[in-house]
Structure 1
Amino acid sequence: MHFLTPFLAAAVSLLSTASAGQANFFSDTNCRHYLGTTYPSSLDLPSGGPAGSFSAMWIEGDQTECRDTCGPYVICGDPNCAAHYLTALGSCVGTATGVWVANRCGCW
């Protein structure tokens, strides 16, 4: 059993950083000019997109990765998520300051 311990620890570590879904980023504030995709972790940390991202849209989400399944997805207007917007899959949020996404599932 002792030789399995490192493998179990590694597996738990990988599960804790599993993707919470997929968000796409755009260079305009209306989600028209695609820049790239990110797969935010389930660690509640904001994830930014490519430089010059001013709008974002959650494309896929895995609510089972959330600590609480209490609502919509979060798009932030700053890297600390002080300014945040609750949204649904496929809804665009744009800001003049840039965008980040967070796996907080609307729980504040």
Structure 2
Amino acid sequence: MSTITPGPGKSRAETKLDITDRTSQAIIDAETGSREAKTERLRIAREKREAQEERAAQIAAAATKTVKSRKKAATAKAAPAKAAAKPKAAAKPKAPAKKAAAKKAG
């Protein structure tokens, strides 16, 4: 065990309090530094994850656009061929509606 010798003008109790204050302040500073380091590490990890998610969303959007444009191009090419292959049926004359005939007769 170490002996505590009071400094000039300090009592033995004041010297013990100074030791306790320095020790507690060192512990608090160490915990604060550890907490700040952890917060910084987590912030960097979150930003990295968000950037990866954004890139993945952009890639998915680009792939969707490519697929849609391919389908649209294929549909546009196939539409004239389908129209030429199917002859249009003659328009059928419409039968008069029963209500209109009933009003005229009544």
- TM-score band by shorter chain is under 0.3
Give the TM-score, by structure 2 length: 0.23
Q: Which structure has the greater CA radius of gyration?
A: 2
Structure with more helix by fraction: 2
Structure with more strand by fraction: 1
Q: Which has the higher contact order (CA 8 A, sep 6+)?
A: 1
Give the TM-score, by structure 1 length: 0.23
